C-alpha cells in the first residue's frame, strides 16, 4: 500500500501539483477545448513514407486508328466519363471513294477521358495515340519507403493515407506488392497499395503521406499526438483537474514511440487522466487564467480557503469572522493552547504548595 501511494504521488500530476491554469466558463467556451483520456490500448508501430497516387496497372487504354486518314469528327473531350463501346471519333480513310470510307473508333473500356490528341481535320496515322482512357474505380498508391525500413514490409499490411488535396479524410489500404528493384538515386523501394475509389475523388498524381502499420503492442499507455506540447527535450501536456472545474495541471511527460495518431507515454500520466487535445497550445498563453486558486477552491467546496488554495484552520476561520474584535490569537495575552497549558501548570503547582503548607502547619501544632 505504501508503494502504491508513493507511485501515485510521483506519477500523477493531479496528486502532486496544484493547478497551473484556472479559467472561467467564458474562456473555456471561447477556446473550444476538447479532451481525451490517457488509456492503455493496442499501440500500432508505423513506418512513414511519401508517395503519390497512380493509375492501377491494366486500367489505362489508348484509342488509335487501324487505317491512315484524317479526323472526320471528334466526339469526346478531356475529363468526360464514357462507357465501354461508346463512340469517341470518326476517321475518314485515305482510300479513294465518293464519299471516302469512314471508320468509327470506340472506347475499349469504361472510364474517364484523360487525353484527347485529336482535332477535326487532323491527319491520322496508325501509330498515333488519339484518345487516352483511364479507369478510376480503383487506384494505386505508391509509397517510396526508405531502403533501411523495407525489410519490415510484407504484403497484407495496412496503411493509412493522408492526401494533400483532401486533408480532412483518411484512406486505408493493404499492401499489394513491393517493387523488385530499389531506386538507387533516392535509396527507396516502392510499395504499392490498391485503393477502392467508388466516389471517383482519388485522382492520379495526388501527393500522399503513408503510415504503414508494421507491428502492434498491447496495453501501451497512449494519448493523442495533438495533446503533446513543448520542445523535444521538454514535453508536457495539460491535464484536466479531477476536482476543480476548468482547472488544468501542466504535467511533464516522457514519451516513447509514436505514430500518425497516438504517442506512447512512458512516464507522467495515469490511466483516466484527461488531457487537453484541441486548444492545448492556446492554454500555454492563458497564464493563471481569470480565477485565483482560492476562488476556484471556494467554488468547488462551498467554503473559504487560503490564497494558496489550502484549507483554513479553525483559528484562521475564527479570525476571518472576528477581524474587528481583537481575536485572542492575534494578541500577546491570547489564551492559545500553549498559554492555557502554562496557566494550568501554574494553578496545579499553587494548589500543591498550598496543600504542603497546611500539612506543615498541622505537624507544628
Cα 4 from Cα 144, distance rounded (Å): 48
> What is the reported pLDDT for 296?
45
> What is the reported pLDDT for 42?
95
- Opening angle at CA 25, ends 20 and 29, nearest 5: 100
Beta bridge partners of 196: 138
Q: CA separation (Å) from 57 to 134, 138, 158, 221, 362?
A: 10, 10, 20, 42, 127
Cα 146 from Cα 108, distance rounded (Å): 38
> What is the reported pLDDT for 7?
44
> What is the reported pLDDT for 291?
46
Tens digit of pLDDT at every position of the chain (365 positions): 444 434 444 444 444 466 788 888 888 888 899 999 999 999 999 999 999 999 999 999 999 999 999 999 999 999 999 999 999 999 999 888 888 899 999 999 999 999 999 999 999 999 999 999 999 999 999 999 999 999 999 999 999 999 999 999 999 999 999 999 999 999 999 999 999 999 999 999 999 999 999 999 999 999 999 999 999 889 999 999 988 888 999 999 999 999 999 999 999 999 999 999 999 888 877 754 444 445 544 544 455 655 545 566 666 666 665 554 555 444 445 556 666 766 777 777 777 777 777 776 665 55
Task: Give the length of the chain.
Answer: 365
Cα 7 from Cα 5, distance rounded (Å): 5
Cα 218 from Cα 41, distance rounded (Å): 6
Helix (H), strand (E) at residue 267: strand 262-267
Cα 40 from Cα 45, distance rounded (Å): 15
Cα 45 from Cα 261, distance rounded (Å): 11
Cα 228 from Cα 257, distance rounded (Å): 13
Amino acid at each position: 500500500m505504501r508503494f502504491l501511494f508513493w507511485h501515485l504521488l510521483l506519477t500523477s500530476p493531479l496528486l502532486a501539483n496544484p493547478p497551473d491554469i484556472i479559467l472561467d466558463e467564458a474562456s473555456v467556451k471561447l477556446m473550444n477545448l476538447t479532451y481525451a483520456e490517457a488509456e492503455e490500448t493496442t499501440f500500432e508501430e508505423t513506418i512513414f513514407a511519401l508517395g503519390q497516387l497512380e493509375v492501377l496497372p491494366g486500367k489505362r487504354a489508348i484509342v488509335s486508328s487501324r487505317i491512315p486518314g484524317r479526323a472526320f469528327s471528334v466526339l469526346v473531350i478531356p475529363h468526360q466519363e464514357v462507357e465501354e463501346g461508346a463512340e469517341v471519333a470518326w476517321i475518314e480513310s485515305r482510300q479513294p471513294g465518293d464519299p471516302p470510307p469512314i471508320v468509327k473508333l470506340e472506347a475499349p473500356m469504361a472510364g474517364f477521358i484523360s487525353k484527347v490528341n485529336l482535332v477535326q481535320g487532323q491527319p491520322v496515322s496508325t501509330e498515333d495515340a488519339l484518345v487516352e482512357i483511364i479507369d478510376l474505380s480503383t487506384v494505386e498508391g505508391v509509397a517510396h519507403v526508405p531502403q533501411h525500413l523495407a525489410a519490415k514490409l510484407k504484403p497484407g499490411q495496412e496503411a493509412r493515407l493522408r492526401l494533400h488535396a483532401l486533408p480532412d479524410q483518411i484512406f486505408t489500404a493493404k499492401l499489394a506488392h513491393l517493387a523488385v528493384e530499389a531506386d538507387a538515386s533516392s535509396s527507396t523501394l516502392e510499395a504499392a497499395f490498391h485503393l477502392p475509389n467508388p466516389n471517383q475523388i482519388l485522382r492520379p498524381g495526388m501527393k500522399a503521406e503513408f503510415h504503414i502499420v508494421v507491428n502492434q503492442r498491447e496495453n501501451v499507455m497512449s494519448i493523442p499526438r495533438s495533446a503533446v506540447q513543448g520542445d523535444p527535450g521538454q514535453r508536457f501536456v495539460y491535464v484536466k483537474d479531477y476536482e476543480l472545474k476548468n482547472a488544468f495541471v501542466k504535467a511533464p511527460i516522457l514519451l516513447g514511440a509514436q505514430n500518425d495518431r497516438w504517442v506512447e507515454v512512458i512516464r507522467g500520466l495515469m490511466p483516466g487522466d484527461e488531457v487537453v487535445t484541441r486548444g492545448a497550445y492556446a492554454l500555454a498563453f492563458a497564464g493563471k487564467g481569470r480565477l485565483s486558486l482560492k476562488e476556484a477552491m471556494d467554488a468547488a467546496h462551498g467554503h473559504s480557503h487560503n490564497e494558496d488554495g489550502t484549507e483554513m484552520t479553525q483559528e484562521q476561520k475564527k479570525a476571518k469572522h472576528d477581524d474587528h474584535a481583537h481575536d485572542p490569537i492575534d494578541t500577546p495575552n491570547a489564551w492559545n493552547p500553549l498559554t492555557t497549558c502554562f496557566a494550568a501548570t501554574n494553578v496545579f503547582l499553587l494548589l500543591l504548595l498550598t496543600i504542603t503548607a497546611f500539612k506543615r502547619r498541622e505537624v507544628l501544632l
